[in-house]
Chain A
Amino acid sequence: MRRFCSHMALNAKMSFKDKSSLFWSFIYPILLLTLMVIAFSGVQTEQKPIAVAVEPGHPFADVFRQIKMLDVKDVNGDEAFTLLRDKDIDGIYRVDGVLLVRGSGVNETILREIGSELTKVSSVYAAGRSLDFTKRYVERGDQKEGMLYVTLSASLGMFALYGYFSGVLIVHHMQANLSPLAARLSTTPISRISYVTAGLVSGVAMSSLQTIGLLFYLKWVWKVDYLADPWRTLLLVLAASFFGIAIGLFIGASNKWPLKAKVPLGVALMLLLSAASGMMGPPMRLFIENKLPWLNRYNPVNMISRTIYRLNVIGSTTEFTENILILFIAGVVLCVASLLFMRKRQFKSL
């Protein structure tokens, strides 16, 4: 246990004393998120209730009224159109179940997500009673998903996987054929399982701290609240950090590529996954979801970003448990595979 603690202390000290690691883990994400907020929404103010018209007789009218982020106007068809045209409201929930919006934006995205969620819930509990579920209930038109939330969520999904670099480094310190330091440590009575576990625990802690720090930064500085459901969000962040480190361990242990190759590989992989998840803008994500839906379903960045968005922006727990389980189980599988790769202690060449 004492040695485990000493490995933990070593990892923590290295993380805090390595300035480049601190930059890429904390400063760079803050800079990127700040740029995104400024670029896509100007200075974000506190979310005001979204004005929306709900036509009388709408099956979810009462539900809409209970949602705090909605400012529901009970108006009829023509009056609602006038309000929409004059930009007094952001959308109309029509009695036939269709959502009518004026254009694209954050508010329209939120209205669409709320409509979708209620439709899904309704399909489970009240199927066939009042709605025709073969019909498309949200008219997207030329509406694009809210740029700010999509890019921020995708970025947070990417940063949550930054534990990858810790994972690669843990293996780099343990496999004698990968680095002189590992060769030296291999000549000592070090317990590999203890070192790897300590690295994993401290890596998860550091990576989670970093992501939670970013969430607080967004909330306190830019009033973008990704902490509306703090406990589930924390659980998601922990699972994501664990999964990130597990990928790092796997890529670190499964080949003899130098660290100089594994780090850029991780950066490229994460950028690619986060781009598919919408970090470069919603069109890419929409394209992937239309053409290669399976890719984004199991794209870890997308799983994290969608879940964090749903939890905190819409207040929905859809896919939360499933995604957490997928990330956790995949992480365990990757860790076990990595340990199998790391079994070897004597090498044909160093």
Chain B
Amino acid sequence: MKVCAMREVVKRYKKVVALDHFNFEIKEGEIVGLLGPNGSGKSTAINCLLGLLAFDEGEVEVFGRRVSPDDMDMKRRIGFVPQDLSFFAELSVIDNIRYFAGLYEQNNAKRDEMVREAIAFVGLEKYGKFAAKKLSGGLKRRLNIACGIAHRPEFVMFDEPTVAVDAQSRNFILEGIKEMNRNGSTVLYTTHYLDEAQELCDRIVIMDEGRNMASGTLEELIDLVDPTEAVHLVLSEPSETVLKMIADMPGVVDVAEDDGKAVILLTPPGHHLSTLLEELKKHEIYYSSLHSELPSLNDVFLKLTGKALRD
């Protein structure tokens, strides 16, 4: 079942096209990542899904209904964790979460249970009575998340929740999102960090300049590029003969030599490294170090857009 869908959505800010016939959908139970550089249209897409932003063309549906800012039933079923810290800075952690949970649940006992769960979920048990403004950056991010998920939404949208967050809080946040997904929530996650998208998402939508450049699982996306695994070897005795012997080994599509280092390209990636090592041993070709690089999302992004994601 589809949780949300955007079809041929066009959104213009005067002459700037933020979404250019953008299409994508999310099925129930998925974690879908919107991956793209800053300004690629990720937040615009989320704001259209939330009904906050009017768009010029196309259709946006959530839970099978056209998005409307007045659809309170839809609002009860979704959660939103914005990129900007959005809570009441003067209030305590507990008061903030209680207020947001109270917008969905009027029963005090149930609401307090939600608050306890949310605090435990983001690991803020020790900070319940702290004023939000006094928390560190990472803890504020966690509170920002707790306010968006306390009501146990069916569908949660995270807009770059780990920007400017320390590694510990980042891991905590990513593990929490996985846990939410295991508990049944469908997740839309925007990021410009490749590793987060790779680690977290079942499917990834690559965005650039408001367009859906490609979407699929990590493996499907990698298959879109020329799939090779690069093995870097520092040879003990590099020579033309040795390189020629390596070139004839199974799975090797190319060998190049660079200052005593051999760069061996294997295809398909992830299948021939052990065979290569056995062959090197058999032919008594010795090396002092080795490392292997599998194709990454950045290669995919580079191929699709002509620029690296980190640019």
A and B bind:
yes
Give chain A's interface residues, CB within 8 Å of chain B: 2-3, 6, 10, 13-14, 17-18, 176, 179-181, 183-190, 345-350
Between A and B, 6 residue pairs with Cβ closer than 8 Å are A13-B91, A14-B88, A183-B86, A187-B50, A345-B51, A346-B52
CA distance A349 to B52 in the complex (A): 9
A13 to B129, CA, bound (A): 14
Q: Are A187 and B91 in contact (CB under 8 A)?
A: no
Interface residues on B, range: 20 to 34
**Contact in complex: A347, B54 (CB < 8 Å):** yes
Q: Is the CB of B104 within 8 A of A188?
A: yes
Does the CB pair B103–A186 fall under 8 Å?
no
Of residues 240 to 292 in B, which have CB atoms within 8 Å of A's CB atoms? none
Bound: A345/B83 CA distance, A: 20
Q: Tell me the residues in window 37-94 of chain B with beta carbons closer than 8 Å to chain A beta carbons.
A: 47, 50-54, 69-70, 72, 75-76, 78, 80, 82-88, 90-91
Tell me, yes or no, whether B106 is within 8 Å of chain A by CB.
yes
Q: How far is the CB of B271 from chain A (nearest CB, A)?
A: 46
Shortest C-beta distance, B234 to chain A (Å), equals 51
Q: Which residues of A are found within 8 Å of B117, using beta-carbon distances?
A: none
Judging by beta carbons under 8 Å apart, are B76 and A183 in contact?
no
Q: Which residue on chain A has the smallest CB distance to residue B56?
A: A348
- Do B53 and A187 touch across chains, with their CB atoms under 8 A apart? no
Q: Given A18, A187, A189, which contacts B80 in the complex, CB threshold below 8 Å?
A: A187
- In the complex, what distance in Å separates the CA atom of A350 from the CA atom of B13? 10
* B131 touches A (CB below 8 Å): yes
A13 to chain B: which residues have CB within 8 Å?
Answer: 90-91, 95
Q: Check A184/B86 contact, CB under 8 A, given A176-B52, A189-B72, A346-B54.
A: yes
A181 touches B52 (CB 8 A): no
A17 to B103, CA, bound (A): 21
Chain A: which residue is nearest B54 at the CB level? A346
Chain B binding surface SS class: loop
Whether B69 and A345, one on each chain, are in contact in the complex, defined by CB atoms closer than 8 angstroms, is yes
Number of residue pairs spanning A and B whose beta carbons lie under 8 angstroms apart: 79
| Contact of B100 with A by CB under 8 A | yes
Any A CB within 8 A of the CB of B148? yes
- Besides the contacts A14-B90, A17-B90, A189-B76, what 11 more A-B pairs have beta carbons closer than 8 Å? A3-B106, A13-B91, A13-B95, A14-B88, A181-B88, A183-B82, A184-B80, A189-B103, A345-B70, A346-B53, A346-B69
Q: Is B24 an interface residue (CB 8 A)?
A: no
Task: Please tell me if the beta carbons of B53 and A350 are within 8 angstroms of each other in the complex.
Answer: yes
Closest residue to A180 on the B side, CB-wise?
B84
How many whole Å from A286's CB to the nearest CB in chain B?
Answer: 43
Is B99 in the interface zone, CB < 8 Å from A? yes
Interface residues of B (CB under 8 A from A): 13, 47, 50-54, 69-70, 72, 75-76, 78, 80, 82-88, 90-91, 95, 99-100, 102-104, 106, 131, 147-148
CB contact under 8 A between A348 and B80, given known A13-B95, A187-B75:
no
Residues of the B chain whose Cβ atoms lie less than 8 Å from the Cβ of A186: 50, 52, 69
Bound together, the chains give a CA A311 to CA B99 distance in angstroms of: 43
A77 to B102, CA, bound (A): 77
What's the nearest-Cβ distance from chain B to residue A181, in Å?
4
B108: shortest Cβ distance to chain A, in Å? 9
Contact of A3 with B102 in the complex, beta carbons under 8 Å:
yes
Q: How far is the CA of A347 from the CA of B78 in the complex (A)?
A: 20
Given A180-B82, A184-B82, A186-B69, do A6 and B54 touch, yes or no (CB 8 Å)? no
In-complex Cβ contact of A6 among B51, B99, B131 (8 A)? B99
Interface centre among A18, A183, A184 (most CB of B within 10 A): A184
Residues of B within 8 A of A347 (CB): 52-54
Kindly identify which residue among B53, B82, B85, B103 contacts A349, using a CB–CB cutoff of 8 Å: B53
> Which residues of A are found within 8 Å of B82, using beta-carbon distances?
180, 183-184
Most B CB atoms within 10 A — which of A2, A183, A190, A346?
A346
- Take A180-B82, A345-B69 as given contacts and tell me if A10 and B53 are in contact as well, using a CB distance cutoff of 8 Å: no
The 5 closest A-B pairs by CB, nearest first: A180-B84, A345-B69, A184-B86, A17-B90, A180-B86
Q: Which residues of B contact A2 (CB under 8 A)?
A: 106
Residues of B within 8 A of A10 (CB): 88, 91, 95, 99
State which of A184, A188, A189, A348 has its C-beta within 8 Å of the C-beta of B54: A348
* Chain A: minimal CB distance from B132 (Å): 10
Nearest to B144 among chain A residues (CB) is A184
CA distance A17 to B148 in the complex (A): 23
Chain B residues near A190: list those with CB within 8 A.
103
- Chain A contacts of B87 at CB under 8 A? 181
Please indicate the chain A residues that have their CB under 8 angstroms from the CB of B52 in the complex.
Answer: 176, 183, 186-187, 345-347, 350
Residue of A nearest to B87 (CB): A181
Nearest CB in chain A to that of B49: its residue = A187
User: Which residues of chain B have C-beta atoms less than 8 A from A181's C-beta?
Assistant: 86-88
A14 surroundings in chain B (CB, below 8 A) = 88, 90-91
Known: A346-B52, A347-B54. A189 touches B104 (CB 8 A): yes
